[in-house]
């Protein structure tokens, strides 16, 4: 990168790290906040190893996040269900690698499926059952079986930081003499400090103050109590061994164990994940865990560089993609690529654009279809394991409140967007008659088919799955460029982030595995590619891949 971008990077990193720090969540786990133990007791481990299947399958997966309540309703009660998802599996992946009419998804993350008094399910009342509104356990087993037939793995949201106040454990914990009292965090008096966002976290009750980071109806579990850890181990075994899920997405992972007013990323939290990993890998060595760690890239990486989680979401990168595409400048993206990934080069992150807690991509981009395509191109050609939020591939809109980020999937322009024959739990977005799967299915220029093309391109070319990322310097700040390369292939991605066409943009690369004179081919985008000759280091300078790059567009070139 050029020197002036490096100067700008220093300023940007300070801002990003400061903002990431403001996103913290959750306090301590001890009856007396000033006398918390410094280590966690180990629970009983009784592992039962299972057969080895496809090790590290997630490293080459493309995931799809589903809110069950909103995906597809099979019985007309207005609530999405397991059978509804099963009926739509061929849309995600038909199991035939020779077709390209499916989306190409190879992993599904299901938002909470446990019984819960809330629509969202993040306040659990039973960890070893499914929400009856979504169907039966047999329905879920059938979904799992049908997904596996198509080569789709399923992970479930594991909400273990807290339970519902309606959970039997918490109901019993109201009694000071109950063995479940220490399953939660109590204090006789109000410790007097607030949560990471200034929120009230110590909630008064008739038997003392209990700690609840997110909401007074979600009391935090006490992971300093080995009995709590044993409960979660038992639950992990149940879902991995008895039911057969492929892994867990851990909600609020950085808030698991607090140390007084230190409410995020404590050493005890890292220690807990190390112990849990030993346990669940003994149950199924190929089980995958991914953490929600809403923090800076450097903080997230610490959960991935030891024996803790397999994956974690990269929130900095998601913000950079959206802001870069929205603002039309490569500066922030150049910083992320050069600074953050240089420091975490060998770390595998989960990548995404938005999720169920964030305004949808299309809303953030003010309905601009070409910018939405551009954001998808950047994410699906970048290193990492991509996660697509349901409906993102057709450009569904939605801004907070959260219920509006989680509206029903827009399958067609029919009544209720084809989601349900009954009254949906929440109305589809107003644009469903034109923004839906049926409308976009046969349109070669649609966002849906853009996603299909990118995902199949990614899956068919290993360099996109596990190849190296090489930073390419563009002599125009409106353009971002990078290379994905493995031993056999080299791909160049070049994107014009701005609202104006650009011409004769020169690119510079310091080193690669390329040799000699090359004849590039365009795999995606428009233009006539220009030949390239590299030096003995595989480097080039001032290379103009295509004479013109139209506004808000990208090209993917196969160089080697």
Residues acting as catalytic residues = 251, 292
**Pairing between β-strand 186-187 and β-strand 208-211 as defined by DSSP bridges:** antiparallel
Is-contact 219 161, C-beta < 8 A?
Answer: no
The enclosing H or E element of 24 equals: none
Taking each helix axis from N to C end, the angle separating 369-381 and 315-327, rounded to the nearest 10 degrees, works out to 140
Q: Which two tokens stand for residue 122?
A: 């993040």
Strand order across the 311-312 sheet: 311-312, 288-291, 247-250, 153-158, 107-110, 63-66, 385-389, 350-352
Distance between CA 204 and CA 545 in Å, rounded? 65
Residue 103, both tokens: 């989306």
Helix (H), strand (E) at residue 277: helix 267-283
CA distance 13 to 296: 10
Secondary structure of residue 553 in the 3-state scheme: strand
Separation of alpha carbons 126 and 131, rounded Å:
9
Task: Return the sign of the alpha-carbon dihedral for residues 258, 260, 263, 264.
Answer: negative
Omega prior to 401 cis, within 30 of 0: yes
């Amino acid at each position: 990168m050029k020197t002036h971008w490096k100067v700008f990077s220093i300023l940007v990193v300070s801002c990003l790290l400061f903002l990431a720090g403001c996103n913290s969540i959750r306090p301590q786990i001890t009856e007396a906040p000033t006398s918390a133990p410094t280590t966690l007791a180990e629970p009983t481990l009784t592992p039962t190893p299972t057969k080895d299947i496809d090790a590290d399958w997630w490293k080459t997966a493309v995931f799809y996040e589903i809110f069950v309540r909103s995906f597809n309703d099979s019985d007309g009660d207005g609530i999405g269900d397991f059978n509804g998802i099963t009926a739509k599996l061929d849309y995600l992946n038909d199991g035939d690698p020779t077709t390209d009419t499916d989306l190409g998804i190879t992993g599904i993350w299901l938002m909470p499926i446990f019984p819960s008094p809330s629509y969202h399910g993040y306040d659990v009342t039973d960890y070893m059952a499914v929400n009856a509104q979504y169907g039966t356990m047999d329905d879920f087993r059938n979904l799992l079986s049908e997904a596996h037939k198509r080569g789709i793995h399923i992970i479930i949201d594991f909400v273990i930081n807290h339970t519902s106040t309606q959970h039997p454990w918490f109901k019993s914990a109201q009694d000071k003499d109950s063995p479940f009292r220490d399953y939660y965090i109590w204090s006789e008096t109000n410790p007097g400090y607030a949560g990471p966002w200034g929120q009230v976290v110590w909630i008064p009750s008739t038997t003392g103050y209990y700690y609840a980071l997110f909401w007074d109806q979600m009391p935090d579990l006490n992971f300093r109590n080995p009995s709590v850890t044993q409960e979660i181990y038992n639950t992990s075994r149940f879902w991995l061994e008895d039911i057969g899920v492929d892994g867990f997405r851990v909600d609020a992972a950085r808030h698991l164990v607090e140390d007084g007013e230190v409410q995020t990323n404590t050493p005890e939290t890292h220690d807990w994940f190390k112990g849990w990993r030993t346990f669940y890998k003994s149950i199924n060595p190929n089980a995958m865990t991914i953490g929600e760690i809403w923090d800076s890239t450097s903080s997230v990486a610490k959960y991935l560089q030891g024996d803790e989680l397999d994956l974690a979401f990269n929130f900095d990168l998601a913000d950079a993609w959206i802001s870069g595409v929205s603002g039309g400048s490569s500066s922030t993206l150049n910083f992320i690529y050069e600074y953050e990934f240089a420091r975490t080069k060998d770390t595998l992150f989960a990548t995404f654009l938005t999720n169920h807690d964030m305004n949808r991509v299309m809303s953030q981009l003010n309905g601009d279809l070409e910018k939405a395509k551009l954001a998808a191109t950047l994410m699906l050609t970048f290193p990492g394991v991509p996660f697509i939020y349901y409906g993102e591939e057709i450009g569904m809109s939605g801004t907070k409140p959260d219920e509006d980020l989680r509206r029903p999937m827009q399958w067609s322009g029919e009544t209720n967007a084809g989601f349900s024959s009954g009254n949906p739990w929440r109305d589809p977005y107003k644009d469903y008659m034109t923004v839906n799967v049926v409308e976009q299915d046969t349109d070669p220029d649609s966002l849906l088919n853009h996603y299909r093309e990118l995902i199949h391109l990614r899956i068919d070319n290993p360099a996109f799955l596990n190849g190296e990322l090489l930073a390419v310097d563009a002599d125009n700040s409106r353009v971002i460029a990078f290379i994905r390369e493995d031993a056999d292939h080299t791909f160049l991605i070049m994107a014009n982030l701005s609202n104006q066409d650009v011409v004769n943009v020169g690119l510079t690369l310091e080193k690669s595995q390329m040799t000699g004179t090359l004849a590039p081919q365009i795999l995606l985008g428009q233009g006539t590619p220009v030949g390239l000759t590299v030096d003995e280091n595989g480097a080039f300078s001032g290379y103009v891949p295509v004479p013109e790059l139209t506004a808000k567009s990208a090209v993917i070139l196969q160089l080697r």
